[in-house]
């Protein structure tokens, strides 16, 4: 956080200092919960971003450098905490976020898309760290509620900030951009993810991603995936900056050639320069190309890009290889799912298995709205017509649509098994899957497939 004292903070958030030393230095701010309440940090409360279990009583046993709250809650704040009274705690928080952003001279990069956001963010940050002091958004803390969290972690040393921008509704990415003011934007793809949160409209998914393009500062850079049909629904006519396109199929600003699977990841050639990284999937080559495009725009050398990409570490539960019992290789891709990302993962299963028994363990995909039936059936059709693993195991009510469509499209019924819960599926896997198989796990986050992986790992 940029240096600020309690008196200056009071002015920035538009409040009144009721209790405390105005010259006391503030080192951080928190508003998501109680874990970071400590000396040197101020707390904004209450906000809608807090966990349901928050109560002011926790402050009796904690120390802080101040609490920013409204007059309604003033008497709930123990006397040992400095106190700033504001008209609205959440608005005060955003005022501090805007203030922090205004002080920063860093280049801000926003990354959105229906899938691949976290992977692209991690790849790009791994590369940029070779040249710049880089901040990256934590895990997938990617909706507007986390924007103040990121802004309050800015400081003078940061040269580049790489922010993943997801959304839960229209306007969410726009709100992030209004504060972060990204100079560079990446749209990985536009597909069915969160369709149910956007009035069952894929058109609205494109509108949501469009908010990043419209929120970019003039004169910067926009990177698009030339291979993605959904990205063609984006309107770039109004964008005032440079546009670079990446592709694994056709000539573009950055095109990957000689794409190959390796034991631990992928290798390819771009601009006659070889690259490799440690995760699987042709779709991840597209993500790597987007990271390369931004890095070159920011004058990172080819050798530094090679090193940064080679040092990329796969985020948890995203095509993550795990050693399983009975010699199995478990591919944990269970963080979340939509039909397009599930299909890409099934392509990985086929490539990685290479003669070993291939097992797809798939679950319900949430947030698809009225597209849910078609989306699940689309995955089943792909399985039956294209990859045909030795075993298809589905868990959940919606996932039975994958199973039935796979059988209709060519998979043998004896290879397809549907279960209502994880316990029965795990029992089947332990009893019937041959040794040294490759098992691929994919479902929406609320299916908790990570628990299955944990029980089957060696």
Q: Give kind and range of the element (H or E) at residue 24.
A: none
Average pLDDT over residues 407-426: 98
Dihedral sign for Cα 413, 416, 421, 422, please: positive
Average pLDDT over residues 386-393: 98
Average pLDDT over residues 268-274: 98
Average pLDDT over residues 282-286: 98
Q: What is the pLDDT of residue 195?
A: 61
Judged against a pLDDT cut of 90, whether residue 33 lies above it is answered with no
What phi and psi, each to the nearest 5 degrees, are found at residue 144?
Answer: -60, -30
Task: Tell me the three state secondary structure of residue 220.
Answer: coil
Task: Tell me the three state secondary structure of residue 140.
Answer: coil
Q: What is the pLDDT of residue 50?
A: 86
Judged against a pLDDT cut of 60, whether residue 196 lies above it is answered with no
Judged against a pLDDT cut of 60, whether residue 386 lies above it is answered with yes
- The neighbour count for residue 448, using CB atoms within 10 Å, is 13
Judged against a pLDDT cut of 60, whether residue 375 lies above it is answered with yes
Alpha carbon distance 168, 13 (integer Å): 27
Report how far apart, in Å, the C-alpha atoms of 80 and of each of 3, 13, 45 are. Answer: 23, 21, 16
Q: What is the pLDDT of residue 80?
A: 97
Judged against a pLDDT cut of 70, whether residue 31 lies above it is answered with yes
Mean pLDDT (the chain) is 95
- The neighbour count for residue 29, using CB atoms within 10 Å, is 26
Judged against a pLDDT cut of 60, whether residue 88 lies above it is answered with yes
Alpha carbon distance 318, 330 (integer Å): 12
Average pLDDT over residues 291-308: 98
Cα-only R_g, the chain = 24
Q: What is the pLDDT of residue 203?
A: 78
Average pLDDT over residues 75-95: 97
- The neighbour count for residue 263, using CB atoms within 10 Å, is 8
Q: What is the pLDDT of residue 236?
A: 97
197 pLDDT band (50/70/90 cuts)?
low
Residues 6+ apart with CB under 8 A from 374: none
Nearest to 211 by CA among 144, 276, 273: 144
Q: What is the pLDDT of residue 1?
A: 86
Average pLDDT over residues 247-261: 97
Average pLDDT over residues 6-34: 96
Query: What tens digit of pLDDT does each residue of 133-182 get?
Result: 999 999 879 999 999 999 999 999 999 999 999 987 899 999 999 999 99
Judged against a pLDDT cut of 60, whether residue 200 lies above it is answered with no
Alpha carbon distance 454, 207 (integer Å): 38
Average pLDDT over residues 422-435: 98
Average pLDDT over residues 99-115: 97
Of residues 191 and 327, which shows the higher confidence score? 327
Judged against a pLDDT cut of 60, whether residue 416 lies above it is answered with yes
Q: What is the pLDDT of residue 54?
A: 85
Structure tokens at 354: 């290479």
Q: How many Å is the maximal CA-CA distance in the chain?
A: 74
Predicted TM-score (pTM) of the model is 0.94
What percentage of residues in the chain have a pLDDT greater than 70?
98
208 pLDDT band (50/70/90 cuts)?
very high
Side-chain-side CA neighbours of residue 25 (13 Å) = 4
Q: What is the pLDDT of residue 35?
A: 85
Average pLDDT over residues 293-307: 98
Q: Give kind and range of the element (H or E) at residue 203.
A: helix 202-215
């Amino acid at each position: 956080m940029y240096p600020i004292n309690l008196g200056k903070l009071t002015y920035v958030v538009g409040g009144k200092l009721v209790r405390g030393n105005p010259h006391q230095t503030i080192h951080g701010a928190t508003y998501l919960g109680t874990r970071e309440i400590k000396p040197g940090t101020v707390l904004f409360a209450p906000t809608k971003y807090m966990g349901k279990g928050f109560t002011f009583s926790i402050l009796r046993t904690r120390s802080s450098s101040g609490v920013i709250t409204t007059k309604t809650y003033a008497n709930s704040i123990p006397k040992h905490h400095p106190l700033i009274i504001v008209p609205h705690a959440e608005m005060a928080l955003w005022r501090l976020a805007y203030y922090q952003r205004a002080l920063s001279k860093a280049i801000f990069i926003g990354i959105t898309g229906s899938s691949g956001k976290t992977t692209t963010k991690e790849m790009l940050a791994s590369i940029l760290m070779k040249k710049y002091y880089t901040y990256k958004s934590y895990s997938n803390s990617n909706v507007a509620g986390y924007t103040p969290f990121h802004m309050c972690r800015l400081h003078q040393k940061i040269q580049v900030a790489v922010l993943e921008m997801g959304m839960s509704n229209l306007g969410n990415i726009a709100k992030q951009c209004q504060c972060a003011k990204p100079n560079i934007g990446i749209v990985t793809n536009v597909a069915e993810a969160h369709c149910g949160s956007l009035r069952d409209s894929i058109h609205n998914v494109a509108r949501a991603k469009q908010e990043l393009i419209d929120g970019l500062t003039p004169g910067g850079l926009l990177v698009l995936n030339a291979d993605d049909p959904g990205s063609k629904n984006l309107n770039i006519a109004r964008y005032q900056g440079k546009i670079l396109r990446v592709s694994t199929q056709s000539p573009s600003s950055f095109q990957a050639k000689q794409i190959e699977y390796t034991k631990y990841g992928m290798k390819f050639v771009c601009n006659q320069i070889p690259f490799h990284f440690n995760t699987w999937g042709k779709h991840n080559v597209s993500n790597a190309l987007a990271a390369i495009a931004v890095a070159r725009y920011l004058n990172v050398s080819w050798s530094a890009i090679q090193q940064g990409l080679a040092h990329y570490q796969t985020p948890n539960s995203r095509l993550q290889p795990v050693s399983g019992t009975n010699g199995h290789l478990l591919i944990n891709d269970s963080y979340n799912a939509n039909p397009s990302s599930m299909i890409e993962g099934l392509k990985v299963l086929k490539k990685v298995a290479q003669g070993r028994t291939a097992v797809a363990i798939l679950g319900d995909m949430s947030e698809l709205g009225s597209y849910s039936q078609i989306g699940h059936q689309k995955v089943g059709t792909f399985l039956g017509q294209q990859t045909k693993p030795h075993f298809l195991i589905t868990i959940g009510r919606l996932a039975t649509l994958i199973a039935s469509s796979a059988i209709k499209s060519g998979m043998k019924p004896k290879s397809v098994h549907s279960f209502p819960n994880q316990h029965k599926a795990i029992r089947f896997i332990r009893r019937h899957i041959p040794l040294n198989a490759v098992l691929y796990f994919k479902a929406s986050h609320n299916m908790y497939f990570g628990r299955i992986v944990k029980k089957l790992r060696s």
